[in-house]
């Protein structure tokens, strides 16, 4: 079973920041937080991952709380193409990406 809890759906206006929360209260010390998204039944697409520190790349920012029990994915300027299901995944750092997907958050970006 997935070790994360996400809201089932969220809305965001185009051009605004989308903040997607994720709870992972049972995360252990060597587990990373990953975010993937799936656009309309395409293959999942990697967005970002982190262990303790906040991370930023060209797609998004990841904010992880100090106790690591929750995180927030931030899409700074959402576009219509960001409409997708976003998955927050906790994954063991053993070297094999055994990704356990939950139900994710369906983000709808509207004009």
Partner 1 sequence: DTAVSQTPKYLVTQMGNDKSIKCEQNLGHDTMYWYKQDSKKFLKIMFSYNNKELIINETVPNRFSPKSPDKAHLNLHINSLELGDSAVYFCASSHRTTGTNTEAFFGQGTRLTVV
Q: Which of 9, 28, 79, 97 binds partner 1 (CB under 8 A)?
A: 97
From CA 101, how far away is CA 49, in angstroms rounded?
Answer: 15
User: What does DSSP assign to residue 102?
Assistant: -
Asked if 2 and 100 count as a contact pair (C-beta separation under 8 A), the reply is yes
Q: Which of 69, 77, 103, 110 binds partner 1 (CB under 8 A)?
A: 103
Pick 57 or 79: Cβ nearer partner 1: 57
* DSSP annotation of 80: G
Sign of the CA dihedral running 77, 19, 22, 81: negative
Please answer whether residues 87 and 101 qualify as being in contact, where contact means their C-beta atoms are separated by less than 8 angstroms: yes
Using the contact rule CB under 8 A, the part of the chain among 5-13, 59-67, 73-81, 86-94 near partner 1 is 86-94
Among 49, 59, 63, 74, binds partner 1 (CB under 8 A): 49
Positions in the binding site for partner 1 (CB under 8 A): 32, 34, 38, 41-46, 49, 85, 87, 91-93, 95-101, 103
């Amino acid at each position: 079973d997935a070790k994360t809890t996400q809201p089932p759906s969220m809305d965001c206006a185009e051009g605004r920041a989308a903040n997607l929360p994720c709870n992972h209260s049972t995360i252990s010390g060597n587990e990373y937080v990953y975010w993937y998204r799936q656009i309309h039944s395409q293959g999942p697409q990697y967005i970002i991952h982190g262990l303790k520190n906040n991370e930023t790349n060209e797609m998004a920012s990841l904010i992880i709380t100090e106790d690591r029990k929750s995180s927030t994915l931030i899409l700074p300027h959402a576009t219509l193409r960001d409409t997708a299901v976003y998955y927050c995944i906790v994954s063991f750092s053993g070297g094999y990406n055994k990704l356990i997907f939950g139900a994710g958050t369906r983000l709808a970006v509207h004009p």
